[in-house]
Every structure is written in structure tokens, then in C-alpha cells.
Amino acid sequence: MRIGWIAALGAGLFLCGCASVVRGTTEQVTFDSDPSGAEMRSVIYYPCGGPCPVRDEAVGSAAAYSGSDVRTPEVPGPACITPCTAQVARNEELLVTFSKAGYEPQTVRLTTKASGGGAAGMAGNIILGGAVGLVVDAGTGAALDHYPNPLKVLLKPLPKGGK
């Protein structure tokens, strides 16, 4: 009887780990362009351009970010030549710019969304990890996946003759 309980507990621990442990806090994201060989540069997306200083107003309200004194330097993200793959923190969204000589630069946003695997890991916190596991997973973004992944853009040629 005692061995049965130990086996059941062991199986429960194996099947219900928190998302940070099971999925990790980073994800491989693939960047590609047509034509290939474009320079990809990114910055971490913040509503005020960089890590946002917060005033006395409610966090997330427009007033907390208004005014010229709250703009902070951008924080660079991954950079590479397409096609490429980069490690990106699950809790970071990126503004990604693709550029290549003879083509119009294109900037797109790489966002995050909850994933099925991440939701299962978060559900494991209800059974085993408790509030601490939920807070850790929420802070690390372990339940999130980047979207779209792969991120691919079609670059448009610059007009001939400057038109």
C-alpha cells in the first residue's frame, strides 16, 4: 500500500511540473525574409521606448507614460542576418526591423500569447506549485510562446528612378 502511494506521488510530480521548469524562460525564434540575407535588428518592446519609469499615476494608464521626460533608451534585442534563429525571453515582445540594400525596410512586432503547453504547466502549479509557482511562471512568461514563430517578411523592392 505504501509503495502505491509513493508511486502515485512520484507520477504526479513527474506529470505536473511548473511551466518555468518544464518549458524554460526562453524560446528559439526563427527570423526569415524574402529575399534572404536581410539584416534583422530588434529592440525589446516597451510602451515608452525603453524600461518605463512609472509616476504616481496607475501603472498602465496613459498618464503614467505621458510627457517627454519618460522616454528612456531602447533596449536592444537579438540581431542577425536572415535566415537565423535567436534565443528570446518568453516574457519579451520585440519590434523587429528587416533591412536590405535595394529594398524598403520593414518593421513588425513579435508578440506573445498563451500556449497550450504553458497552460498545462501553469495548471500544474494549482496541484503542486501553489501561489509561488504561479507568480514565478507569470513573471518569467513561461506559459507564453512568441507569435508568429517563425517570423517571415516579404521585402518590397525600392522604386526604380526614385519614384
pLDDT digits (tens, 9 = 90+) for 9-57: 444 444 334 554 566 778 999 999 999 999 999 999 876 656 666 555 5
Cβ atoms < 10 Å from Cβ of 31? 26
What percent of the chain clears pLDDT 90, i.e. is strictly above it?
37
Whether residue 66 contacts residue 58, with contact meaning beta carbons closer than 8 Å, is answered with: no
In a domain, 162, yes or no: no
In a domain, 71, yes or no: yes
Residue-number span of the structural domain to which 70 is assigned: 28-114+147-157
CB within 8 Å of 51: residues ≥ 6 apart: 72, 75
pLDDT at res. 2: 63
- Residues 35 and 32: their CA atoms lie apart, in Å, by 9
pLDDT at res. 74: 82
What percent of the chain clears pLDDT 70, i.e. is strictly above it?
52
- Residues 87 and 108: their CA atoms lie apart, in Å, by 18
In a domain, 52, yes or no: yes
Structural domain total, the chain:
1
pLDDT digits (tens, 9 = 90+) for 80-130: 999 999 999 988 899 999 999 999 999 999 998 887 654 444 455 455 545
Closest CA to 55 of 47, 43, 45, 67: 67
Query: pTM surpassing 0.75?
Result: no
In a domain, 17, yes or no: no
pLDDT digits (tens, 9 = 90+) for 53-83: 655 555 556 565 555 555 567 889 999 999 9
